[in-house]
Amino acid sequence: MKRIQICDTTLRDGCQAEGISFSLAGKLRLAEELDRFGIDYIEGGYAVSNPKDMAFFRRVRRRPLTRAKVTAFGSTRRKATRVAEDANVMQLLAAETDVVTIFGKAWSLHVSDVLRTTAAENRKMIGETVRYLKEKGKEVIFDAEHFFDGYKDSPAFAMSALKAAIEAGADLVVLCDTNGGSLPKEVYDMTRAVRRAAPVPVGIHTHNDSELAVANTVEAVRAGAVHVQGTVNGYGERCGNCNLCSAIPVLQIKMGLACCKPGSLTELRNLALCVEELANVRHGKKAAFVGESAFAHKGGMHVDAIKKNPRSFEHIEPEAVGNQRRVLISEWSGSSNVLLKALDLGVRGLNKSSPKVRRILEELKKFEGKGYAYEAAEASFEILIQKVLKKHKPFFDLKQFKVFVEKRGKNRRCVSEATIKVRVNGEEAHTVGEGDGPVNALDNALRKALIRFYPEIADVRLTDFRVSILDPEEATAATTRVLVESTDGEDTWGTVGVSENIIEASWEALLDSVEYKLFREEGKRRGKRKGGDSHAPADRAARGPKTGAR
C-alpha cells in the first residue's frame, strides 16, 4: 500500500482559529494522542510567536514520541537581514526540533505589496534560510505560501520560489492554497506540473474558504503529492484548514493509501472528540465520518433498508472510523425505526408487524406533534415504550412542588429555592433544595427527597440543559421544550419535557432522568439474579458541554 505522509498542524494552524487556544498541558497531551494515532509530523507551534509554543518544544523533548517528528514552524529570514542574525531563524534553532517548516512567498503580489521587496531578494530569502538550516543538520520542509494564486498569476514566479528552496536543499516542498480559493481541477493541474518538474517530494496544504479543502487535498494526492497537511476537525484561521478527520479516511479507505499506523483508523472518532475536549469547542454533530450524525438514520424507508443491508445507505462501515450506527426516533419514523430502536434499548419480543410496535409509533407521533423530540432524549423514548407496553412502574408519586426565585437588592444575585413532597412506598418525604436557578434548585430538592430510598441516584448529575421555544409568536405564553442530559459517570442519557411553563417542562425532563436511572438499576439487579443482564442501557444522547443546568 502506497504511503502518504500526514503532517498535523492543529497545534499551530489550528490555534489560529477564532476561539481556540490550547493550554501547554493540552498541547502536550494532543501531541501524544497524535503520535499514538500514527501521525508522521506534528507542527508544534510558531517558534517566534509566543512563550507557550517555545515551552512546548522544551517539554515535548522530555516525552519521546514513538513515531511522529515534531516540527517548529517559522518564516524565511527578513528582507535585508543576514540569516545568522535573524530572530525568527534563531528561534527555530532554539526549538531544537529535528525538523523545521518555513514558509516563503510564491506570489508576486505578496512580494511587491506585503514584503515590499524584489523578486530576487525573495528568492535569496528562501534559499539562504533553507541552506542555513540544512547546514545546522535540520530536515527542512518548505511551505510555498499562496502557491496556487501565485501560479495562476505567474507560473514562472511561483516555480522560481520552489526552485530556490530545492536548490538550497529543502527535503520537501509544500504547495499552499493559503486563501482557500482554488478549485480542485486547478489544484490537480498545478500539482501535476510541479510533480513533473520537482526532484523532491511534493506536499499539499489547503484552506477551506471555498468548502473545498479536502477535495483539493485529494486532487493534489491524485496528482502526485505524497505529504498532506491539515488539522483535526478542520480547525484553522477563517473557515479552517483541510480536515484530517475527513481526508485520512478518504485517502485510506477509498483510495487505498496508507495514512496512519495499522489499526488506528478505528480511533479516528476518539481523536476528534479528544481535540474537541482539549479545545473546548464543539465541532458539530454533522461532521463527515466522525460526527454523531454521520451514520444516523431517521427516514422510515432508510431505516428499513439498512436493517436489510447497511450498504444501502452507508458508504462505509461506521466502525471503520470508530463511529456507530444510530437510528433516530421522530415523527418521520416508521415501524422499522421503532423496532430497531426498541431492540437497541433492550426491549425484546417485538417484530415489525406487531400491534405493540404500531401503538408505540402512534404514541410517538402524537407526542412529537405536541413538541416532544426524542432524537436526543432516548431515555424518555424508552420510558414511553414502557408506558405503551404497560411495563412502566413509577418509583415515586409527586404530591407537590414549589419553586421560589428571590432577588434581594439590585446588585445581588438571584437565589432559587424549591420545596418538594413525594411519596415512596407509602412513606412521605418533604425536602427543600437551593440552587443557582429554579431548575437547579428543583433538581437538588428531588435528589434530597429520594436519596434515602434510592441511594443509587447519588452519582447522577446534569451535564446539559437546553431550552427551545416552539411557537415564539405566542411570546411569553409559548410552548417550551426542555432537553436535559444526565450522567452517572458511566453512562449518559437524554430526556425531554414540554409545557407552556418552563418549570413544568423542566420537571418532566428531570422526572424521566431519575426514573430512567432507577429503571435501569432495577434491570441490572434482575439480570444479576438471573445470571445475565436483562436490560441493555440506552444509546448515549448527544454530547453537550459539561456545564451545570441552571
> Mind listing the pLDDT tens digit for each residue in 475-531?
556 788 999 999 988 888 989 999 988 899 999 999 999 999 998 888 777 666 555
- Give 335's pLDDT tier (boundaries 50, 70, 90): low
State the pairing for strand pair 69-75/99-105: parallel
At 522, list the grid cell. 432495577
- Give 337's pLDDT tier (boundaries 50, 70, 90): low
Tell me how far apart the alpha carbons of residues 426 and 367 are, in angstroms, rounded to a whole number. Answer: 31
Region 130-142 average pLDDT: 98
Mean pLDDT of the chain: 88
Q: Which residue has the higher pLDDT, 532 or 240?
A: 240
What pLDDT score was predicted for residue 548?
Answer: 32
Does the CA dihedral 213-294-487-483 come out positive or negative? positive
Q: Is the pLDDT of residue 207 over 70?
A: yes
What pLDDT score was predicted for residue 380?
Answer: 86
478: exposed, middle or buried (Cβ count in 10 Å: 0-12, 13-18, 19+): middle
State the pairing for strand pair 99-105/227-230: unpaired
Radius of gyration for the chain, computed over Cα atoms and rounded to the nearest angstrom? 29
Q: In terms of Cα–Cα distance, which of 56, 4, 9 is closest to 28?
A: 56
Q: What angle do CA 224, 267, 312 make, to 5 degrees?
A: 80
Q: Is the pLDDT of residue 188 over 80?
A: yes
| pLDDT digits 0-9 by tens, 420-438 | 999 998 899 999 999 888 8
Give the highest mean pLDDT range of 46-50, 387-391, 458-462, 525-529: 458-462
Q: Is the pLDDT of residue 346 over 90?
A: no
Structural domains in the chain, sorted by start: 5-279 (3.20.20.70), 296-369 (no CATH), 397-530 (3.30.160.270)
Q: Is the pLDDT of residue 410 over 90?
A: no
Tell me how far apart the alpha carbons of residues 233 and 545 are, in angstroms, rounded to a whole number. Answer: 17
Q: What is the percentage of the chain residues whose pLDDT exceeds 70?
A: 89
Tell me how far apart the alpha carbons of residues 138 and 136 are, in angstroms, rounded to a whole number. Answer: 6
What pLDDT score was predicted for residue 84?
Answer: 95
- Give 164's pLDDT tier (boundaries 50, 70, 90): very high
Region 534-540 average pLDDT: 40
- Give 330's pLDDT tier (boundaries 50, 70, 90): low
| pLDDT digits 0-9 by tens, 434-474 | 988 888 899 999 999 999 999 999 888 888 888 888 766 66
What pLDDT score was predicted for residue 535?
Answer: 44
Tell me how far apart the alpha carbons of residues 514 and 308 are, in angstroms, rounded to a whole number. Answer: 36
- Give 547's pLDDT tier (boundaries 50, 70, 90): very low
Q: What is the percentage of the chain residues whose pLDDT exceeds 90?
A: 62
Q: Which residue has the higher pLDDT, 215 or 328?
A: 215
What pLDDT score was predicted for residue 124?
Answer: 98
Packing angle between helix 184-197 and helix 155-167, nearest 10 degrees? 50
Alpha helix ranges (H) inside 280-437: 300-308, 335-344, 355-369, 378-388
Q: Is the pLDDT of residue 367 over 70?
A: yes
- Give 300's pLDDT tier (boundaries 50, 70, 90): low
By the 8 A CB rule, do 198 and 190 touch? no
Region 537-547 average pLDDT: 36
Region 196-213 average pLDDT: 98
At 8, list the grid cell. 498535523
Q: Is the pLDDT of residue 146 over 60?
A: yes
Region 167-182 average pLDDT: 98
> Which segments of 444-515 are extended strands (E)?
461-469, 480-487, 492-499
Beta bridge partners of 466: 483
| pLDDT digits 0-9 by tens, 272-287 | 999 998 998 876 789 9
